[in-house]
Structures are given as C-alpha cells and as structure tokens.
Amino acid sequence: MEVIQKYNEDELVLLLQRQDQQAFSYLYDNYAPALNGVIFRLVEDKALSEDILQEAFVKIWNNFSSYDPAKGRLFTWMMNLTRNLTIDTLRSKGYKKQSKISGDENSVNNITDAGSGIDKFDAMGIRKQLGNLKPDQQKVIDLAYFGGFTQEEISKEIGIPLGTVKTRMRTAILELRKMLKYT
Amino acid sequence: MEIQDIISSGLLELYAAGIASETETRQVEEWVALYPEVAAELKEIMIGIETYATANAVEPSASVKEIIFARINSSEIGRVIPIQPGGDNEFQQIGSYPYWKMVAAASVLFLIGSIALNVVTYNKFSNANQNLAVLRETVDSIQEKNIEMAADMNVVQSKYSMPVSLKGLEAAPDAAAKIFWMQNTGEVFIDPSNLPDAPAGKQYQLWAIVDGKPVNGGMILTSKKGDKYRIQKMKTFGKAEAFAVTLEPEKGNATPQGPMFVMGKI
C-alpha cells in the first residue's frame, strides 16, 4: 500500500463527523479504489460500478453520524455499507448475486482477476500471495466479505454444514493475515 | 467463554463481514468492550480484509470524485432549506409585516432628518447672507477708499503737479496744508489733512493771491462724519502768487474776513 497517511483514523473520523470536506476528499482518495474493487467484483461493469461508488460515498457522507468507531474500523463500515448498497442495486435491477459470485472453481480466479484493472497493487505481490490461498478459503472470504452472503448462503454455496462456516472463515482469514504479514 | 475461545470461534470474522446475526453482533460488541485482546483480534481481522480489498482495488474514473463533491455540496444547500422549520408563517412575518413598518419608520426618520436639515440649512443660509452683506459693505467701502486714494495718488504723482506747502500762522502754528497745482490745466488740489477740524458753523476757505489780491478758491471740507477729507479739487487758477486758507462762516465770504490759518508762497 502506497498510502501516505495524512490523518490517522481517529482524526479522520473526528473530522468527518464535523463534515470536513478536506477529510472527505482524503477518505475518497484513499478508499475509493478499494471500494470500487468491491463493487466491481459484484457487478463486473465499469460504469455501473462507478455509479454505485458515487452513491456509496454520498451515503457515507450523509450517514457518517451512524458510524460508531467502537464497533469496528472505518473501512469495514464503509465496505459493508458499499457492499450492501451494491447488492441492493443489483437486486433492484433484477440481478441475482449468485450470478456474480458463483460456486464453481473458476469463479475464484475470476473474482481475483476482477481487480486487474489496476496493476499498481501488484507491485508488492499481494495479489500473487493471495492467489496462494486455498480455493475454499478464498471463496469463503469473497462470499462473506465481498458478496455479502449470509452464513446459510455460504453453507449452501460451498456445500459445508452451517456450523462450520464460522470456523472456515476463521481459518481463511488467519491464512490471509499470515500471507499479508509476509508481503 | 474463554478469551481464546472467543477469538478462535470465527464469530469475529463473521462480525467483521457484517453477516453475524443480531444476537451474535450484540455478543461480539459486548466482548470487544470487555476484552482488549478480543478488540485487538477484531482489529487485525478488519485490517486483513482491508488489505485484501486494497489489493483488489479498481481505480475509478476521475470524474466520479467531482460528481460526489458536487452532490454533497448541492445536498448541503438542499438540507439547509428544510431546516427553516414550519417557518413559512414565521418567514412571511419576517418578510411582509415588518416591511411596511420599516418603510413607515424609514419615512418618519427621513422626514425628521429632512426638517432638521432644513432648519440647519436655513440658519446657515441666514448667517451666510448676513456675512455676505457685511462683506459687501466692507468691500464697497474699501473700494471707495481705493478710488479716493487712487485719485489722490494721481494728483500727487502727476508729473504736472506742483506742490505748494502752506505753513501754519499765528492762529494755528501747528497747522499745515498742501496744494497741488497742475501746471498743464491750472487745476488746484488741496490736502487739508493737517488742518484742525473746523468748529461748528465755520468752514475753511481757500484763497489764491492773484496780482496782490485774494481770489476765492472754494470751500474746503475737513470732516465728514469723523472721516477726514483727503485731497480735494478746488477752483482752477491760471496764475497765482500764493495760496492761503482762512476760517470763514459755512457759506464763505467774497473777501477773507476770518483769521488766516496757513499760507504758502509760490
């Protein structure tokens, strides 16, 4: 990540709560590509993706007061908001989220490749490292974090019992964290 | 539940994905508030996801940011308008009722101001008028004096004027007078400023001595309301041996009767 940290997260949150547009500009510059990536892997359409991104940021600005730092990181909140907005948009357009993140093996690579619009993040080899995740691990991460799938849906999608979804997620994320540490 | 069990349960990962059930969510939030280790673990999970998302970032078009800022700025304005709540009546009151009131107040103020200004202006005008009259008088009198003095100077400075000094005699040894006799025209001017004021009912009379006999040269005015006459024109003489001034009754005499005050020979 080549992000130059101008604000720490606490400062950023404080400024955004005061409707500081400069802080919002910083927020956009630092997180819009990642959020756009989240949207893009669901919609696979550049124009639609950017429309949703636009909606997402307006929503982030207008609803910032509903963000509670005690409950999690800013990005997690924004990402879940953006993902849910994307799913809602797709539903209203008659899409089914299964059509975008399906359970077959190839889709895993497709999902990762969806981010190939920018190569600058490849520099650190993060994506290459992520490619080393076991397909099931990557799938569970994609479905849960990027697809907004419920536990039941994940269990059905991957074909594992509902009770093991949590533990599968745990191991997948642990693996992800391990990889990120070495990059 | 042990802290380690919480961490390894996978619930935190579920919670970070925003797909935990309501009960699970409440439970996690409780743990996070209670145990710093749990909070730290949740943070690590979230950073992991964040990094993963960043690695899969897709750069949006530059126009997207502009549109977003245009929208939040226009919605800022849009938000302010409904904030004037139930303010329609209130707004109208602010807008219309005090309007005529303000106009009336402004009119009254304007009238008072106008009257005051008129009074002040009238006073100034009167004062100015008085001052002007005084100035005019002063200027007039100065001009008058100037003309007189210019005439006097003309007599004195004329290259044809021959000055004749008349000296004081027994009746008034300190008295004196001057004659300016124009050699080209024979006009005679007298400067009586050094003659004592003539007593009431009396007047000085000029005489020219021609062929040994005194000839009437005219009556001399010495004072006019406290202001002395300066050089004045007398009768014209072609020739004369001397000039003399006597004090005679106001209308004068054909021959000198009264005392002689000054005399000068040519």
pLDDT at A110: 38
Residue A178 touches partner B, C-beta closer than 8 Å: no
Name the A residues in 66-85 with CB < 8 Å from any B CB: 70-73, 75-76, 79-80, 83-84
Residue B48 makes CB contacts below 8 A (sequence gap 6+) with A173, A176, A177, A180
Compute chain A's Rg from CA coordinates. 17
Quick: pLDDT tens for A84-106: 999 888 888 766 544 444 444 33
Q: With 90 as the cut, is the pLDDT of residue A82 above it?
A: yes
State the residue for tokens 């707004």: B91
User: Which residue in A40, A59, A166 has the most chain B C-beta atoms within 10 A of its own C-beta, making it the best mutation to test that interface?
Assistant: A166
* Nearest-by-Cβ selection for B53 from A28, A37, A149: A37
Q: Which residues of chain B does A53 touch, with a Cβ-Cβ cutoff of 8 Å?
A: 60, 64
Q: With 90 as the cut, is the pLDDT of residue A17 above it?
A: yes
Q: How far apart are CA B136 and CA B140, in angstroms?
A: 6
pLDDT at A26: 93
Residue A160 makes CB contacts below 8 A (sequence gap 6+) with A154, A168
Q: Helices A74-92 and A46-62 sit at what angle, rounded to 10 degrees?
A: 130
End-to-end CA distance of chain B: 153
Residue A74 makes CB contacts below 8 A (sequence gap 6+) with A9, A12, A13, A67
Quick: pLDDT tens for B81-99: 443 444 444 444 444 556 7
Q: Which fold has domain A9-92?
A: Rna Polymerase Sigma Factor; Chain: A (1.10.1740)
H or E stretch at B222: none
Quick: pLDDT tens for B193-216: 888 888 888 899 999 999 989 999
Q: Which residues of chain B does A168 touch, with a Cβ-Cβ cutoff of 8 Å?
A: 10
Residue B197, both tokens: 């004021």
Name the A residues in 122-151 with CB < 8 Å from any B CB: 126-127, 130, 141, 144-146, 148-151
AA letter at A122: D
Q: Which residues of chain B does A75 touch, with a Cβ-Cβ cutoff of 8 Å?
A: 46, 49-50, 53
| CATH classification (class only), A101-182 | mainly alpha
Q: Which residues of chain A does B16 touch, with a Cβ-Cβ cutoff of 8 Å?
A: 72, 76, 145
Q: Which residues of chain B does A121 touch, with a Cβ-Cβ cutoff of 8 Å?
A: 54-57
Domain coordinates in residue numbering, chain A? 9-92, 101-182
Quick: pLDDT tens for A148-174: 788 888 888 888 898 888 888 898 888
pLDDT at B85: 43
pLDDT at B229: 67
Its pTM surpasses 0.95: no
